Structure 1
């Protein structure tokens, strides 16, 4: 089964917790702190594997969590960093943030990779908090949480030549004749529901990839019919091979078909209007096709369209050799990679976290009955990284809140000694310091 779109959840590994430990060695009196730092959590990395052709694997596995870093060790030994989680994707995969729709990466080449969710930093051990005033601190940090998000993977087929045209004009038959691909062929519309790829061997040492794509109809750029399921794949092709039923077996005008398909391509993506295009006048073995072709070529001249036209019959293989050689010659002159949308490169990878605004306070306080709720991304992160079961760590957290002005703000809101303060999932008792 061909799967070209998937939504998955990814999470970087949490950092390992820092350790509270002290030297306990013979002949070493009153040994100082010796708790090591925790290791970094693993990143979630998408890597291109040219052996893959669909996003089928993501239909069954939708959650990817990288391992967490190792906890700090005694004797000032650091915990090991976790291994990264490598998620393999096929060439042509576009990765988008599900919440914002932002394109995170456009992966086209084998081995290309991008970090989509970074692992958290390891927490510091108590050796890091030793001071002259407190040479043996019971203070450490928990590991930082890894980044998490839902992403949408969208596959745009990597092909050199893409076949476009109305349903039932003979695209699948053409691909089956010139390659070893075995697409489904039938005499009804939308026989082809998913892209089929075939390798065309022109001669020894010369070949290219051709894609048979689902047929277009009017309104496809708005998602009508197979709409976007088709159009996303044509973006990658270096040449557009426009297959036209020149015998007009379904009563449509061949030139009108040509104009409508090109209009749909243009409305979907303006860049496609300038993509090199070749016209395959198919079904030339059927009566009246020659007359229709003369009218078609006349209208091309009248509209100033200078696209090469090849007379073929996919059923009898008439003209196929000449068409394939022409495509191969054209491909030799076109850059290998057609860039449709540029993903801006940055020197540093982005960290997708809720940003703390520079304007206004770093926290807000609201009251629910007798409970005062402190809301702040920064404070909640600080709390998660603080092992508050140790007195020194809890005292450090309390002092940091005081320096941020949280205590004063609570008093201004009416908080009194003994009342409940809630920060995230934790509740504390407000104590007036004398």
Structure 2
């Protein structure tokens, strides 16, 4: 479908879309919205920047308008769960414009912000509540909100929720919802554990896939610089100094590493700030606002921000350290080349990270252009398959899957148990008239 008017949405929603200059649905929107409107559970596979928020947000808004009345105090009609504060803020910001001139209430709750203020807002109820799992559980324990009348559930960036260890929170929250509910799950990847989550919480879902896992945006130019670990900061400073007028996002693996790199960049005369899980909500919001407003041109982040920053003007994404999970590389570089723009992804690869680089190239099905330096000595041998499984790394040590060294730790939450429980078979909801 090439026109929102063909999707059966309420006229008020169509008017707002026109006012926002959103003229045609993206592929994920064109395919998901009709299925949601027809009452089906949906499992959507799409990368960041493909328009997933409106793919589930517009049908939720449509249903809330159709209800024709305000929600009851401390009750929630639709719940959207997201893994990070930044993503919650981004989703809510995308939905707020549709509430103007209506009775609709879109409320967000995240950790790091005043819980008393959130309790106060929830006293009026919410048509759509956007939340991080941990803070929502805190509010439920305070009896500030009840989910027993919640008939719509959205799990956004569900794969990252599992990576961050939220599986236990999902097990706790989902049984609290109404037995008769409609569930939508959106994820950038679909591994075994994601399939188990879908099987536990969705009923006969329609699977929609619009962007193959591991595929970057078409307009992202990628390159890698082979550089010693000790020379990374100088290389990064040199590259940023040559593009001072451009907005740059730099990714590190750890919070302390992000802080340390930020201090080094500032000492080199570069306006930079850091954003990660140890920062308060106010600090994170101020850093993002300064970045968005152009007061700083470099933002240093950990993967907590990889899927929660929607700033179209980001020209460069630097992988100061390559991620342990190759799919996270795709999420990181997805912060550039947004809204039809072009962007560049620059990776700095030390000898110890060569296995991570090969894993990334395998997942993406490409060979990243070498812009400077040379692969570690013996890398050609490392790329060749060996008997007995695994590959030989450049230093002669044998490695397991994705070329990672033996004993390398998995990211938090990756080794969590199966979802189990929580499956609730319920009658299908009747189709709501447009």
TM-score (norm. length: structure 1): 0.21
Structure with higher Rg: it is 1
Identify, as 1 or 2, the structure richer in strand: 1
Identify, as 1 or 2, the structure richer in helix: 2
